[in-house]
Structure 1
Amino acid sequence: MRLPPPRLCASGELLLRLFLSPHRRTFPHLHHRSAERMEWLNEWLWREEYWLPPGIGWKDTHLDEDQGHFPLPRDLLCTLPLAFTFIVLRYVFERVVAVPLSRCLGVKDRIRIQAPSVPKLEAFYKQTSRQPSQPEVLALSKQCGLSQRKIQTWFRHRRNQDRPDNTKKFCEASWRFVFYLTAFLGGLGSLIDTPWFWDQTECWRGYPKQAVATAHYWYYMLEMGFYLSLLLSVSVDVKRKDFKEQVIHHIATLFLIGFSYCANYVRVGTLVMLVHDSSDILLESAKMLHYAVWTRTCDSLFVVFAVVFLVSRLVVFPCRVIHTTLLVSLDFYQPFFGYYFFNALLLVLQALHIFWAYLILRMVNKFIFKGKVERDERSDEESEADDNEDEDKEHKKEADEVDSGQKTERSNSKLTSLAHNCVLNNLTNQRNINSRMPKAR
């Protein structure tokens, strides 16, 4: 029977003790069954053919202490406390640094109309739907005694109350900007002297018996902890129109980082993270300037971001990274499950890159022909962005109605004055005729 490394068995026994120790005295037979299931799951999960090339076993990956540290799955356990640490640091950063910085840069929040307190509408808004259909609006109109137009206006104002302000969006962008900048500089400093940074063939020389440097270990842990914190806080962050794609991106990134570390794809994994961080820095900085209404600087920076994104994600990533994992690696070992799974995750990321590149090219097209970037097609617009446009149209419509009403009143007043003048003239003429009648007689 093929067994996983001894350290993996020890970690499995530790988890078994943590989860099953309260039931040992009361249900000994359940403990015995659970132990057997845990042992079976542990053996099945860490089968050598899943994680290692054919002909290589776990014993072949053993490194002496003087040779360095071999990546172990239990190392990833520290990413969970790191994720919560990132959440706390973000909370402190946004209030201590980001909010004052937004005021210095002139970020202004839009003044929104507060929806009046209507308990029935509020209950429907929270429990049923934020955007009621026409039959639902008609039913609510009968229940509340309000017109359908007032019901629709109330829901629009209520939705706008929950929309994030520019300050909140600026704080999120600034937090991601600081992390991506720090991670990129740290990753570049740790990789620039490595042979596989310049020649990707070195990623596979001696694989899988490759030691992991301390700098690359922390690069991995911090990146995975950060993306895990983004996934944990996705429900409270600004919901953008590419929300589903972002969630898929975070999940694929976590699987990619975790699997590549366990399968010791650390060398090529560091290159993948470095390529992604390079363009994300420019994107978050462009967002910050967009919220601060630094239009010209934001547009110029966005063009630079578009160039870097297209080059790094559509040229460097597929031609250097995916090429070496998909083709060059076959010169050093035969394909196995880990080979197919790792490349499948990379292709998922590449598909997302193509989707975002399409949106970016649409914005660049608008910039070229209209002279400015109207809105962020990639991820800066929220999923309910049409509410603001509807609100502006509604205000314009109401203003037009007021103007038309004033014009109607003015025209009515003019007609009334003309009618009065006509009546007065007729009365005057009638009096003159009556005064002349006796003389004529």
Structure 2
Amino acid sequence: MLHTLREWLWWERLWLPGNVSWSDVEHNGAKASQLYAALPCALCLLLVRYLFERYLASPLAKVWGIRDRVRLTAEPNHILENYFCHHGRLLSQADVSSLCKKTSWSERRVHVWFRRRRNQERPGLRKRFCEASWRCVFYFFAFAYGVLALYDKPWLYNLKEVWAGFPKQPMLQSQYWYYLLEMGFYLSLLLSLTIDVKRKDFKEQVVHHIATLTLLSFSWISNYIRIGTLVMACHDSADILLEGAKVFNYGKWKETANFTFVVFTILFTLTRLVIFPFWLIHCTWVHPMEQFAPFFGYYFFNVMLLILQILHFYWAALISRMLYKLIFSKLEGDDRSDEEEDEGDSPLEKKHKLGQRNGSGARGRANGH
């Protein structure tokens, strides 16, 4: 059964155009067995990241005066701890009332305990700074390498050249290392998701990393190398500025951070909402039809690109909201981050107090009448 499944999974007519075999692709392009190199590359990047954050980013954070906030520890309470670990970190009014009865605590004391307990789970400002610094540096070098690998290639200036001679196109050494570097990086991000700063778009990040690795793997095996390098360079260009804006923001360089974020917004819009859909997806959707009949691999590749584009629209909405805050109010940090809570009243407490004040006012008016 496994043999049959393997034969179906690697069926040439499923992934390749007619009259093309895997031997033709591997003779001219990349080999599927070379994908295993992405795992040791990811592990090496995790080691490089650890060394970078420990010996470069952390000292820089110290120089800039970036310190973690002093956190008050939640007092020991096995009932609340058990609820926190097994039922959730957020409370409804019914949950608060039930826990108050079990612990004989006041509502405010329960809210304060959960707020402090949640803050204990959140990464500090220095960790967020180190993480953003690492990503900024990686995207900068990856984009610089991509420019060096692409600047003299004809398909950068004429997208029809992407499909010239496809799929029997030679794999260049610059393309090989560019792919390996990007695949190793996104695999390292997937491996470190549980220890990285958890953001509001955590699930979308997982989908993005899996879709990216799937696209890179498929384009490697099926020799979609040329369009793959263009997609990677298109994405890395804006990511440098996003992570750079976070670094400046954590370092309290507010004006520089705001300027960088505005430039990032413009570049993100240009690359992700204009160039990517109207140039690159158009290139993968229209130009191949001029040379061969559509096949499953053709549809699969384009559907994965469309999934990335949907994520671009989602992030564009978040970026628009952040830009609105920047212009009309005050932008603090990354809008996707799981931010640390202050010791003030929680939204549920404020709502409860507002209801009490409204109720008292209504009773007062009724008694006056």
Q: Do the aligned partners of 1:108 and 1:292 also contact (CA within 8 Å) in 2?
A: no
Deviation readout 1:207-251 (Å, 9 max, x if unpaired): 000111111111111111111111111111111111111111111
Matching residue's letter, 2:22 = W
**Is it true that 1:73 corresponds to 2:73 in the alignment?**
no
**Is it true that 1:103 corresponds to 2:62 in the alignment?**
yes
**Is it true that 1:338 corresponds to 2:297 in the alignment?**
yes
Q: What is the match of residue 414 of structure 1?
A: none
**Is it true that 1:119 corresponds to 2:71 in the alignment?**
no
Matching residue's letter, 2:272 = R
TM-score, normalising length from structure 2? 0.89
The gaps in structure 1 that reach 5 residues or longer are 1-36, 64-68, 402-441
| Selected match of 2:341 from 384, 388, 391 | 388
**Is it true that 1:227 corresponds to 2:180 in the alignment?**
no
Q: 1:60 to 1:87 in 2, by over 3 A?
A: closer
Report sequence identity in percent: 48
Q: Do the aligned partners of 2:250 and 2:333 also contact (CA within 8 Å) in 1?
A: no
Deviation readout 1:377-418 (Å, 9 max, x if unpaired): 4x3x22xx4x625x3346xx99xx9xxxxxxxxxxxxxxxxx
Q: Do the aligned partners of 1:276 and 1:313 also contact (CA within 8 Å) in 2?
A: yes
Q: How much does 1:374 deviate?
A: 4.5
Within 1, Cα distance between the matches of 2:209 and 2:21? 31
The answer to which of 98-107 and 198-207 deviates more is 98-107
Within 2, Cα distance between the matches of 1:49 and 1:215? 29
Q: What is the match of residue 287 of structure 1?
A: 246
SS in 1 for 2:344: helix
Q: Do the aligned partners of 1:109 and 1:167 also contact (CA within 8 Å) in 2?
A: yes
**Is it true that 1:147 corresponds to 2:78 in the alignment?**
no
Q: Do the aligned partners of 2:41 and 2:184 also contact (CA within 8 Å) in 1?
A: yes
Q: How much does 1:62 deviate?
A: 5.7
Q: Do the aligned partners of 1:196 and 1:267 also contact (CA within 8 Å) in 2?
A: yes
Cα RMSD, aligned residues only: 2.1
Deviation readout 1:316-367 (Å, 9 max, x if unpaired): 1112111110111211222111110000011111111111112222222333
Within 2, Cα distance between the matches of 1:180 and 1:240? 19
Q: Do the aligned partners of 1:130 and 1:159 also contact (CA within 8 Å) in 2?
A: yes
Q: Do the aligned partners of 1:140 and 1:151 also contact (CA within 8 Å) in 2?
A: yes
| Selected match of 2:316 from 357, 369, 386 | 357
Q: What is the match of residue 147 of structure 2?
A: 188
TM-score, normalising length from structure 1? 0.75
**Is it true that 1:58 corresponds to 2:31 in the alignment?**
no
Within 2, Cα distance between the matches of 1:202 and 1:234? 37
Q: Do the aligned partners of 1:363 and 1:373 also contact (CA within 8 Å) in 2?
A: yes
Q: How much does 1:138 deviate?
A: 2.9
How many aligned residue pairs are there? 350
SS in 2 for 1:142: helix
Matching residue's letter, 1:38 = L
**Is it true that 1:376 corresponds to 2:334 in the alignment?**
yes
Within 2, Cα distance between the matches of 1:242 and 1:260? 26
Q: What is the match of residue 363 of structure 2?
A: none
Within 2, Cα distance between the matches of 1:103 and 1:349? 37
SS in 2 for 1:392: coil
Q: How much does 1:40 deviate?
A: 1.9
**Is it true that 1:160 corresponds to 2:119 in the alignment?**
yes
Q: Do the aligned partners of 1:363 and 1:375 also contact (CA within 8 Å) in 2?
A: no
Q: How much does 1:60 deviate?
A: 3.7
Q: 1:179 to 1:112 in 2, by over 3 A?
A: same
Matching residue's letter, 2:122 = R
Higher relative contact order (CA 8 A, sep 6+): 2
Q: What is the match of residue 2 of structure 2?
A: 38
Q: Do the aligned partners of 1:205 and 1:332 also contact (CA within 8 Å) in 2?
A: no
Q: What is the match of residue 20 of structure 1?
A: none
The gaps in structure 2 that reach 5 residues or longer are 354-369
The answer to which of 103-112 and 360-369 deviates more is 360-369
Within 1, Cα distance between the matches of 2:334 and 2:105? 37
